[in-house]
Structure 1
Amino acid sequence: MSFETLKVARTGWRLDVTLNRPESRNAMNAAMVRELSALFAAPDPEVRAVVLRGAGGSFCAGGDLKGMDGGAIRDVNRSFGAMLQRAEALPALLVAVVEGPAMGGGLGLACVADVTLAAPDARFAMPEVRLGLIPAQIAPFVVRRIGQAAARRLALIGGTLGAEEALRLGLASAVGDVDALLEATLADLARCAPRAVAATKRLIARAEEAELGALLDEAADEFADALAGEEASAGITAFLTRSAPPWGAP
């Protein structure tokens, strides 16, 4: 697959996806939304980690306002929300590496990542209301990530969070040297069974909306299936014999 707005590189089970419009601080246009959506819609089952970052020291400055009009903009806007849903549903671990601004849609990407690593200069913002717009597609994901109170403060006055406050609210998973943090995250992931990671992601995603008893029933079924499967057999054997499991570094 060829891309106009992304750089994509595969190394073993790691897929690096770089938002590549540095001249606009990686603001998302319709082409970037389409390309991200296509990438997330057809995940490679051998990929265990998708690492998302921006070119040129900026994560993403939000939506590209140039050329917006009242024509097909509703569909473009909704397609961005659909892309976030696909990103959130990836079976692989989604890691966002945030340097500089993560504004608007960039904040949305940071909120759907499983792990969001922030450089000390990272800034998370929802500036839409200052432009006479609304954060239509990202607001639900922001609320789910940081809660109603923090989301209201951020969205209703067009506020900005620094890296440390983002960490305190649970938006950022860690703050510091993002390359070192990324390698440590991937080293931790290398110890985890890929099917178990994917199943656990599905379980966590359903925890906020499913009826608890039904969810626990389904989870018990999945646990029994996992215990009878090849991954658990290999993982438990490796644990008992103090050896390395068959899954490993990228």
Structure 2
Amino acid sequence: MIDVAVRDDVAVITLARPEKLNALTSAMRADLATAVREHGRHTRGIVVTGTGRAFSAGEDIHQAVGRSLVEEVETFHDMTRAVLETTVPVVGAVNGLAVGGAAEWTLCFDARIGTPAAEYFLPENHIGLSISNASSYLLPRLVGARALRLVLDSARVSAEEALALGLLDEIVAPERLVEAAIARIHHWSAPGAATAVHLALLRPSPAEVERAFAVETEAAGRVEASGIAQAGMSRFVNRARG
């Protein structure tokens, strides 16, 4: 479930499934892409945040077991594509833990502001899944050669570590998080600013992003065909039930 409210001409999209740490079902992913496309045309910018102690636990693995991993990955890709199609700034307000596909989604945002409780966690490698959201291109663009370690280690990255790496641009108090993100958008989109032009010039190359989508979809097909993806997701679900 997602909530959307327009505040000071900025669309605030809130992941609102706190009882599941805002884990993203396929329906939520489609709704997010739709909301970004809609509000990316009619507002000064978009803020994305979460409810509760997590930004998002990423893919809802309980729902994904038995489903086509390729189809699941492609819905994540469309969330990233939707952000990069906008002509307004998109800022992540990372209120807590950001996992997997949700963490990867933030990589295409124009800025990421976190609280001290923010964490990044890319667990796919040790589950037997593959990364998505063009993160094979976007993560090295942000953190350089350290991208490989972040993916292979599957370790949690604290807010301070994320700031040092470039995953976060700023850390603010929790009560200021959304306001700070809105203020950043207002500063960037002041009347007379050439913001749309510079977003087009400086955002990740659409061609490179689409190339990354293609190789990531192919990689998802490989881990699915090998059986390690479904085995890893089943282990995760059974461990959670236990």
Task: Pick the TM interval, shorter chain.
Answer: 0.7 to 0.9
- Between the aligned partners of 1:64 and 1:206, the Cα distance in structure 2 is 27
The question of whether the paired residues in 2 share the 8 Å contact of 1:59 and 1:99 is answered with yes
Report the CA distance between 1:200 and its aligned residue: 0.8
What is the aligned-residue identity percentage?
28
Which residue among 145, 148, 152 is the counterpart of 1:156? Answer: 152
Q: Is 1:66 the counterpart of 2:62 in the alignment?
A: yes
The question of whether the paired residues in 2 share the 8 Å contact of 1:116 and 1:172 is answered with yes
Q: Is 1:143 the counterpart of 2:140 in the alignment?
A: yes
Report the CA distance between 1:42 and its aligned residue: 2.9
- Between the aligned partners of 1:122 and 1:154, the Cα distance in structure 2 is 16
The question of whether the paired residues in 1 share the 8 Å contact of 2:115 and 2:177 is answered with no
1:123-138 equivalence runs, <5 A:
123-137=119-133, 138=135
Q: Is 1:190 the counterpart of 2:186 in the alignment?
A: yes
Q: C-alpha deviations, 1:51-106, integer Å up to 9, x for none?
A: 11111121011111013245433122112112112113321211111122101012
1:92-107 equivalence runs, <5 A:
92-107=88-103
Higher alpha-carbon deviation: 44-53 or 96-105: 44-53
Please give the TM-score of this superposition, normalised by the length of structure 2.
Answer: 0.76
Gaps of 5+ in 2: 209-242
Q: Is 1:121 the counterpart of 2:105 in the alignment?
A: no
Return the structure number with greater helix share.
2
Higher relative contact order (CA 8 A, sep 6+): 2
- Between the aligned partners of 1:104 and 1:188, the Cα distance in structure 2 is 26
Report the CA distance between 1:108 and its aligned residue: 1.4
- Aligned partner of 1:221 in structure 2 is none
Q: CA RMSD in A?
A: 2.3
Q: Which portions of structure 1, spanning 4 or more consecutive aligned residues, are displaced by more than 6 angstroms?
A: 207-210
- Aligned partner of 2:104 in structure 1 is 108
The question of whether the paired residues in 1 share the 8 Å contact of 2:40 and 2:86 is answered with no
Higher alpha-carbon deviation: 174-183 or 110-119: 174-183
Provide the secondary structure at the position in 1 that maps to 2:62: coil
Q: Is 1:170 the counterpart of 2:161 in the alignment?
A: no
Aligned length: 205
Report the CA distance between 1:164 and its aligned residue: 1.0
Higher alpha-carbon deviation: 130-139 or 90-99: 130-139
After superposition, the Cα gap between the structure-2 partners of 1:90 and 1:194, relative to the gap in structure 1 and judged at 3 Å, is farther
Which residue among 176, 198, 201 is the counterpart of 1:200? Answer: 198
Report the CA distance between 1:170 and its aligned residue: 1.2
Please give the TM-score of this superposition, normalised by the length of structure 1.
Answer: 0.74
Determine which structure has more spread, i.e. the larger CA radius of gyration.
1
- The letter for the 2-side match of 1:9 is A
